Structure 1
Amino acid sequence: MLNFFLLILIYSGIYALMAMGQNIITGYGGMLSLTQAGFFAIGSYVTAILTTQAGWSFWATLPVAFLVSALFGLLIGLPTLRLKGDYLAIATLGFGEIVRNVLNNWDSLTNGPMGIQRIPMPVILGFTINPYKKYAFLVMVIVFVIIAYILFQRLARSRMGRALAAVREDEIAAQSMGINITKYKVYAFILGASVAGIAGSLQATFTLSVTPGTYTFMVSVMVLCMVVLGGMGNFKASILGAFIIQFISYFPQLTGLSSVIPPQFKQILFGLILVVMMIWRPQGILGREATRYRKRAVTPTGGEQ
């Protein structure tokens, strides 16, 4: 039972990274994106290919996964940001499916449907972080989540965070105030994609294998549910939502009811969560976080203290 609970915590941490990336796109930028599964897959396969075929260490693949995912975030962000609402969601969903199909059919690089096996375990200071002994891997995931949370919190209080919040509330008003809407939306896509790529790298080293069937549309829906459930515009809520959704996902196995509850029930449940939250508590469990800015005292001479 303890081993299974550690598994839930590890996946909660990995998905919390993606949820925070989704939150910067949807919660702050106000863009309905369903493409986190595609960026997640890119990060996983970058790490899998470089470690198994080029002999790189896990730590060396992390910046590459970050940059490649960010590049694809830029490439998908620029042409699709002319779209809004449902049209943007459909376009980003299409990108995720394209990524999965490319991975499924590029046999020479990705080994097609068979995927890539025997991914090396991460090593730090001579210590091998064995995913089968979950405590060390959980600590590593928690460190990544804390670093991402601190960086995103600082970002939310920065000029970019304020600009994204303004764009989310009223694009016309934001543009009239001199905010470059396209630039900040693309930045949001790049950040959301890059952190999903890091999550993908962690996923690859945890499972020690990758297959295209892992990165389906339901992964993007699950991540969106985490953000909506916890509260959009709140990174603590994204982490909470990730834990709740993962706990719900593994609840049948945890309670021994997997033979009674069909696998399709999870998909129905995610849709139900979205509908119920939108009707009864659209702000999510924790709601949007109120951003506080430090007030600066102005001296009689006009300077700041």
Structure 2
Amino acid sequence: MSVELIAYGCFFLTVALTYAIMCLGLNLQWGQTGLFNVGIAGFVAIGAYVSALLTTPDTAGRLGGFGLPMAVGWLGGALAAALVSYLVGRLTIRLRADYLAIATFGIAAAVQLCALNLEPVTGGPFGIGFIPRPFAAEAGNPLLFSLLNLALLVIVVLLLYLGLERLVRSPWGRVLRAIREDETAALALGKSATRFRLQAFAIGGGIMGLAGAAQAHFIGFIAPENYLPMLTFQVWAMLIVGGSGNNRGAILGAVLVWGIWAVSAALIAAVFDPAQQARAASLQIAIIGVAICAVLLLRPQGILGEIRTISRHLPSRAGKAQTAESRPE
């Protein structure tokens, strides 16, 4: 196997894992809490632009150029997206289903338009380049550079996965699922549905911002056209295919759907001439749509469905309660 092929495989998995982070954020909002967010692209864009502004070198004619460390940029992007998510949630979290979807879609459109028109800050349609990349000193060795980038993303995704697993299995996570399944019963137990929804929405938005920051630094360039509604469609497709409500399913769906997207793009480039490739690119959306339909027919809950815990209190000989098994949905 050639070095170039291994390096490309590492790059492919690195990008796929940035989408996995977005899926984990959406899974917290939708899979665990039932919040229908179709403004994913907006929160990802906020994280990407904030991190880029904090870490890029000084550039004349544009706000930013602080040259801060990359870790500060990633943290700043995540916190900025979480803050915007919180403020948006304060206004919209009481909305239900399609109304919340319309509101979040409007927020994403507003963010994309700001990125396009605030040229002194965002670079406008030209975007922001020269974003520092991890392990830039190793760029002369493509294989080592790619392996180090992949290792970094694997660590980030693993830590995020473990943290979210602890959250969703904690009393806080159980309250989220209780609100999702039966809000009236949760309210009767004294739980504030609005407060818990707002917390989940803000944390999920912050995770999406972290994904945007990571993706910006691994690619090295961002522009408003990177954050069109198509990005939201991709992330939703990933979560549906992998399995909503399951963090492992979110990661698996991200890798699979990104693989389908990348392979279909390569096939289009190989089959169609350059003049027809732009029109043929719509086939990618059709291919993803067919994949979603196939998964929904064969596995309505996704490849890895949500694991629901059923507790049965059974009297034992010692007079204590016994709890029974967990089973997949």
TM-score above 0.5: yes
Paired with 2:172 and 2:266, the residues of 1 have a C-alpha distance of 42
Residue 7 of structure 1 is aligned with which of 11, 18, 21?
11
**Unpaired runs of at least 5, structure 1:** none
Which of 31, 36, 54 is the equivalent residue of 2:66?
Answer: 54
Structure 1 position 209 matched with structure 2 position 209: no
**1:42-77 deviations in whole A, cap 9, x for unaligned?**
111111111121111111212211211110110111
Kindly indicate whether structure 1 or structure 2 has the higher relative contact order, using CA contacts under 8 Å at least 6 residues apart: 1
Q: Does 1:96 align with 2:108?
A: yes
* SS across alignment from 1:232: coil
Quote the residue 1:144 is aligned against. Answer: 156
| Aligned equivalents of 2:71, 2:203: Cα separation in 1 | 20
Quick one: structure 1 residues 40 and 169, their matched pair in 2 at CA, closer, same or farther if it must change by over 3 Å? same
Give the structure 1 partner of residue 327 of structure 2.
none
Query: Where does residue 263 of structure 1 map in the other structure?
Result: 281
Match in the other structure for 2:300:
282
Aligned residues of 1:231 and 1:287 also touching (Cα < 8 A): yes
Q: 2-side partners of 1:292 and 1:240: how far apart?
A: 25
For residue 5 of structure 1, report the CA deviation from its aligned partner: 2.3
User: Secondary structure of the equivalent of 2:131?
Assistant: coil
Specify whether residues 246 and 94 from structure 1 end up closer, same or farther in structure 2 by C-alpha distance, changes over 3 A only.
Answer: same
Q: Deviations over 1:148-175 (max 9, x none)?
A: 0000000011111101100111111211
Q: Which protein is bigger by CA-based radius of gyration?
A: 2
Deviations 1:71-101 (A, max 9, x none): 0110111211222112211211111111110
TM-score of the superposition, structure 1-length normalised? 0.89
Preserved CA contact (<8 Å) 1:4 1:254: no
Give the deviation of 1:282 after TM superposition. 2.5
Tell me if structure 1 keeps the 8 A contact 2:7–2:147.
Answer: no
Between the aligned residues of both structures, percent identity stands at 33
Task: Please say which of residues 129-138 and 240-249 is displaced more in the overlay.
Answer: 129-138
Q: Could you tell me which residue of structure 1 aligns to residue 31 of structure 2? A: 27
CA drift at 1:259 = 3.6
- 1:237 aligned to which of 249, 255, 260: 249
Q: Which residue, out of 175, 179, 182, partners 1:163?
A: 175
Given that 2:133 and 2:217 are in contact with CA atoms closer than 8 Å, whether structure 1 keeps it comes out as yes
Alpha-carbon offset, residue 238 of structure 1: 0.3
1:2-39 Cα deviation digits (max 9, x unpaired): 33322221111100000000000000001111122111
Q: Distance in 1 between matches of 2:253 and 2:225?
A: 24
**Letter in structure 1 aligned against 2:221:** S
Q: Normalising to structure 2: TM-score of the pair?
A: 0.83
Q: CA RMSD in A?
A: 2.4
Q: Which residue of 1 aligns with 2:324?
A: none
Is 2:243–2:303's contact at 8 Å kept on the other side of the alignment? yes
Number of residues of Structure 1 aligned to a counterpart in Structure 2: 294
